[in-house]
Chain A
Amino acid sequence: MTGKGKRERENVLLEIRDLHATVEGREILKGVDLVVHTGEVHAIMGPNGSGKSTLAQVLAGHPGYTVTAGSALYEGKDLLAMTPEVRAREGVFLAFQYPVAIRGITNAYFLRFAVNAIRKHRGEEELGPVEFMDALEEKLKVIGWDDSYLNRPVNDGFSGGEKKRNEILQLAVLEPKLAILDETDSGLDIDALKTVAQTVEKLRRPHNATVIVTHYYRILTHIQPDVVHVLSAGRIVKSGGKELAVELEEKGYDWIREVA
């Protein structure tokens, strides 16, 4: 193995091979291959119904999806064998397309449970309420957000845009190694999109990676992807640089179907 090849191998964060998955008996993913290295931003684009959200949910461990073939290694470990909570503690984060409301539980209260679950998993000391709030305020300063979301119940009574922003707030607080953003851009106005994209940019580190699942090119003008993939009918049919996203923006998805 050459020096470069070895380095790349070491830097592989996620390696998906021939992944097949079904929901309610219907096959949605039909052999997905994807390799994500640390430090990279990948965009997975594709028409509605191509399997983008299914891929995102399968990686997070949604119990409604069944993996029927293939593998997904995360830091060399079998991701698919882990429960959703272990994946999260290991550093996988999914920003939901449709975030769920948890009535009566404030963001701050919930986030302390999440942060402490992860800390405990890493063998770190859990944070008390006061320490946690200090850390949280500090984090908000870094990303330049105010604390208006902290004492509101998780996603309860939030507008669509607020819910998406709240996912990014969680992303910032939980500091995952692998962040998967499932259509985080949909339902955001231009300003909110910019804020979200800037926050994601600010959180980029050499040791983490981001997978942006999107239907639209818009968000990619704010977050520069290293690799762009086109998912169609449950398979990645084309991969390329960010110029591929531009091409999709101009030509739509129909030509991809023809290529595939």
Chain B
Amino acid sequence: MTEPYVRDFQAFASNGAAGAPPWLREIREGAIARFTALGFPTMKQEAWRFTSVAPIAETHFTLPGSRRPQLALRDVAALSALGAGPRLVFVDGRYEPGLSSLAGLPEGVQATSLAEATRSGPRGELARRHLARYAPWQDSAFAALNTAFLADGAFVHVAADTVLAQPLEVLFLATSGTAVTGAGGPTVSHPRSLFIVERGARATLMESYASIADGLQWTNAVTETVVGEGARVELYRVQREGRNAYHIATTQSRQERDSYLGLHVLTLGGSLARHDITTVLDGTGAELILNGLYVLGGSQHADHHTVIDHARPHCASHEFFNGVLAERAHGVFNGRIIVRPGAQRTDSKQTNNNLLLSTEARADSQPQLEIYADDVKCTHGSTVGPLDQTALYYLRSRGLSPETAQSLVTYGFAAEILGRMQRPDVRERLDRLVRAGLA
């Protein structure tokens, strides 16, 4: 099932990727070899025991053709998670400067396409130093495939001590070959992002994924984020692709000394979604908030696998993932916390709470702690259950109708996660998306 992609890669490498620097071509060659060696994962593998990617493996998704859909700015604004402000827009992983808007970015902030950034000069040097250095393409078939087809994507660099006050959005729009261009079969795009926030800088970034049409499509995204010493980053990620979309994503971040990363993940779309999130706390005193929510209905399946790697002492991580599952939806959460030898005074907390709104909905929750240091504080807990009848009665005893009581308790599961988002303007936008998802 990997052969068609290898053939596509050969065509891609000899054609579309021609302009790439040698170092990148080398990485791609390595990545396609790893993809071939690893193959698509199966449910026999522990990390995939609840999620079958057979629907992806059994379909040959081709790269989108050169014919591009005509999109109006208005349509793009409607699909954007923030609706306004600076943004880089990508259609099927390719940068669309005409749909993007970079006005008002402060000096010291570079936001451009990876194709542009990898070309040469100081930006090329930055890209070379960081690109594909963190994402686990040696171990993950999907990250490998994305890396093999790495040609474009988002590049954001925030120079040391620079403040990016306005949230910057990176918007990836997926088309399906049939519905939009009227030709070809199902298509895959490999969105790629590289965010580098240097020492002492501050930034709010939004990574969002949406579909232009509801046809069969596959998005295979990889994001690498580096948070420099003392830097503070709020990184939001919203996935609201169509109901016939497969969404596979790898989010890898590395935090340096005394840095703060708030990583907020909202999964609303896709028929099959899998998101692997790994953050490495690689400097003393770093702090992470990993805050996620999945709201699923119909026969949606979403699987979040998170790894928080405490590699250095005196770091704190707080992870909260909530799931609201209606109809026949299936949510999977696997949260692994690793405390490396020597990572003393680690303070780590993890919770995953799942609300089942129907008897056919299902949630699997697996917290895992791997602690190799002795002076640490680690707690974890998870719950799976239906609406709390006592809570509903309590609310009714205050005058709320049963329907209002139910929607309030349900919304509370989401609001708990939304409440941890530090940017009120972003939180308000995402709150609206969540409410629409719950309605």
Q: B402 touches which one: A85, A101, A104, A110 (CB < 8 A)?
A: A85
Instruction: From the candidates A104, A117, A121, name the one contacting B416 in the complex (CB within 8 A).
Output: A104
Chain B nearest CB: distance from A138 CB in Å? 20
- Tally the A-B contacts, defined by beta carbons under 8 Å: 79
Least CB distance, A153 to chain B, in whole angstroms? 7
Question: What CA separation (Å) do A117 and B395 show in the bound complex?
Answer: 11
Which one of A87, A99, A100 has the highest number of Cβ atoms from chain B below 10 Å of its Cβ? A100
Q: How far is the CA of A88 from the CA of B399 in the complex (A)?
A: 5
Question: Nearest chain B CB to A101's CB is how many angstroms away?
Answer: 8
In angstroms, how far is the closest chain A Cβ from the Cβ of B384? 15
- Residue among A62, A87, A101, A117 making CB contact with B401, cutoff 8 Å: A117
Interface residues on A, range: 20 to 34
B15, chain A: closest CB distance, angstroms: 51
* Contact, CB under 8 Å: A85 / B416: no
Check B393 against A121 for contact (C-beta < 8 Å): no
Chain B min CB distance to A139 (Å): 15
Chain B nearest CB: distance from A213 CB in Å?
Answer: 15
Nearest CB in chain A to that of B390: its residue: A100
Nearest Cβ on chain B to A233's Cβ, whole angstroms: 26
* A100 with B391: CB separation less than 8 A: yes
B411, A105: Cβ atoms closer than 8 Å: yes
> Considering the chains assembled together, what is the distance between the CA atoms of A84 and B397 in angstroms?
5
Contact A104 B398 (CB under 8 A): no
Interfacial chain B residues near A96, Cβ < 8 Å: 394, 397
B141 to chain A, nearest CB (A): 37
Q: Which chain A residues lie closer than 8 Å to B408 at the CB level?
A: 102, 105, 110, 113
Interface residues on B, range: 20 to 34
Report if B12 contacts A (CB, 8 A). no
**A83 contacts which chain B residues (CB < 8 A)?**
396
Chain A CB within 8 A of B33 CB: no
Chain A 77-102 interface mask (CB, 8 Å, partner B; 1/0)? 00000011101110000101001111
B156 at the binding interface (Cβ < 8 Å)? no
Within 8 A of B (CB), among A54-87: 60-63, 83-85, 87
Does residue A174 face the partner (Cβ distance < 8 Å to B)? yes
Complex-state Cα separation, A11 to B389, whole angstroms? 36
Contact of A85 among B388, B401, B409, B419 (CB under 8 A): B401
Report B-chain residues with C-beta under 8 Å of the C-beta of A61.
Answer: 396-397
Q: How far is the CB of B266 from chain A (nearest CB, A)?
A: 15
Contact of A99 among B394, B399, B400, B419 (CB under 8 A): B394
Interface centre among A61, A96, A103 (most CB of B within 10 A): A103
Question: Which B residue sits closest to A119, measured CB to CB?
Answer: B399
CB nearest to A114 among chain B residues = B398
Given the known inter-chain contacts A88-B397, A88-B398, A117-B399, please indicate yes or no for A104 contacting B411, CB distance below 8 A: yes
Contact of B400 among A94, A100, A113, A153 (CB under 8 A): A113
Task: Identify B412's interface contact among A84, A99, A105, CB under 8 A.
Answer: A105
- Distance of A155 from chain B, by nearest CB (Å): 9
Beyond A85-B399, A105-B415, A153-B416, is A63–B393 a contact (Cβ under 8 Å)? yes
Among the interface residues B388, B397, B402, B413, which one has the most CB atoms of the partner chain A within 10 A? B397
Q: Is B120 an interface residue (CB 8 A)?
A: no
Residues of A within 8 A of B389 (CB): 63
Cα A117 to Cα B404 with chains together (Å): 10
B413–A103 contact, CB under 8 A? Answer: yes
A210 at the interface (CB under 8 A from B): no
State A106–B390 Cα separation when bound (angstroms).
18
Does B144 sit within 8 A of A, measured CB to CB?
no
| Contact code string B59-92 (vs A, CB < 8 Å = 1, else 0) | 0000000000000000000000000000000000
A199 within 8 A of B: no
A153 to B41, CA, bound (A): 41
A153 / chain B contacts, CB cutoff of 8 Å:
412, 416
B414 on the A face (CB < 8 A):
yes
**A214 interfacial by beta-carbon distance below 8 Å:** no
B388 and A117 form a contact (CB under 8 A): no
A sample of 7 cross-chain residue pairs with beta-carbon separation below 8 angstroms, ordered by A number, consists of A100-B391, A102-B395, A113-B404, A114-B398, A117-B399, A153-B416, A174-B399
If A113-B395, A118-B399 are given as contacts, then 12 extra A-B residue pairs at C-beta distance below 8 Å, sorted by A number, are: A61-B396, A63-B393, A88-B399, A94-B397, A96-B394, A100-B388, A102-B409, A104-B414, A110-B398, A113-B400, A114-B398, A114-B399
The 9 closest A-B pairs by CB, nearest first: A104-B412, A104-B416, A117-B399, A104-B415, A88-B399, A100-B394, A114-B398, A84-B396, A105-B412
